[in-house]
Chains A and B, each alone.
Chain A
Amino acid sequence: MKMIHTEVPEQLYKKAIALVEEGWYRDEKEVFSEAIRRFLEAHQPELMERFLREDVEWGLHGNE
């Protein structure tokens, strides 16, 4: 495991803590790990590249 030190918006932190307090997660570390894992799964580089290339094609040649 890697240790990271970062800042998060207050509201985001409060929501993470609420999940822990309600018993959904053991601690906030688990919440943030899960959040990052989901983000990384959804933001695969090849997907984002394809979307941007489609944007350019539409921008240049699209007829709506």
Chain B
Amino acid sequence: MSETISSVVCDAGPVIHLDELECLFLLHDFKDVLLPEAVFDEVSHYRPSALKKLQYNMVRARKGMAGEKVLSTMCKLFALDAGETEALSIMEENPWAIFLTDDASARLVAEQIHYKVYGTVGILVRGIRCGHFAPGELLNILLSIPSRSTLHIKPSLLEEIIIKIKEAYRVS
């Protein structure tokens, strides 16, 4: 079972958003952070500082040669960008990895193929479970999402998430 958590395949969104929130260290939990070439280029362009912080366990990954036809058709139908398409192609070769994306379309495609897929918020909340944050610290980070990051979350939903975490950890 440990094999299932050893690697994550990253889309650009979570890398950029976690860096904006100064939480990129949360990805150090994983054995490998597989970054497709197109994602590497995108992060280099928009958030170069993130790449330095990821050096610990980052692996630049080339997309698989096989390129399953169903996957490639779905990526086109859902108008996924190069990074998302490459990431899903790398998931084909690493089906036990977790795919990290904040893009709804990419997540939908990954879900259809039964990959494990989560986003920035999942990694942040996991940070409490894995002992990186006290609940109060995570709540402060979540509250700062609208002002410090480019991750878009509806305010009422963010409030709902915060309440859920307060209830789970009995924080008043």
Question: Complex formed: what's the CA distance from A64 to B165 in Å?
Answer: 19
Does A64 contact B4, Cβ atoms closer than 8 Å? yes
Does A42 contact B108, Cβ atoms closer than 8 Å? yes
Does B4 contact A42, Cβ atoms closer than 8 Å? no
In this complex, the interface size class of chain A, counting residues with CB under 8 Å from chain B, is 10 to 19
Does B121 contact A56, Cβ atoms closer than 8 Å? yes
A64 contacts which chain B residues (CB < 8 A)?
Answer: 1, 4-5, 98
Q: Cβ of A59 < 8 Å from any Cβ of B?
A: yes
Q: Mark B136-172, 1 if CB is under 8 A from A, else 0.
A: 0000000000000000011001000100110010000
Q: Which of A42, A47, A55, A60 has the most CB of B within 10 A?
A: A55
Question: Complex formed: what's the CA distance from A59 to B141 in Å?
Answer: 14
Does B125 contact A55, Cβ atoms closer than 8 Å? yes
Instruction: Report if A38-B79 is in contact (Cβ < 8 Å); known contacts: A55-B125, A56-B161, A60-B129.
Output: yes
User: Could you name 21 residue pairs across A and B whose Cβ atoms are closer than 8 Å?
Assistant: A38-B79, A42-B78, A42-B105, A43-B105, A49-B157, A52-B121, A52-B157, A55-B118, A55-B119, A56-B121, A56-B161, A59-B121, A59-B123, A59-B126, A59-B129, A60-B125, A60-B128, A60-B129, A60-B164, A61-B129, A64-B1
- Top 8 A-B pairs ranked by shortest CB distance? A59-B125, A55-B122, A64-B5, A42-B105, A55-B121, A59-B126, A59-B122, A58-B122
20 further interface pairs, Cβ-Cβ under 8 Å (given A51-B119, A55-B120, A56-B125): A38-B79, A42-B105, A47-B108, A48-B104, A49-B154, A51-B104, A52-B121, A52-B161, A54-B118, A55-B121, A55-B122, A55-B125, A58-B122, A58-B125, A59-B123, A59-B127, A60-B125, A62-B122, A62-B129, A64-B1
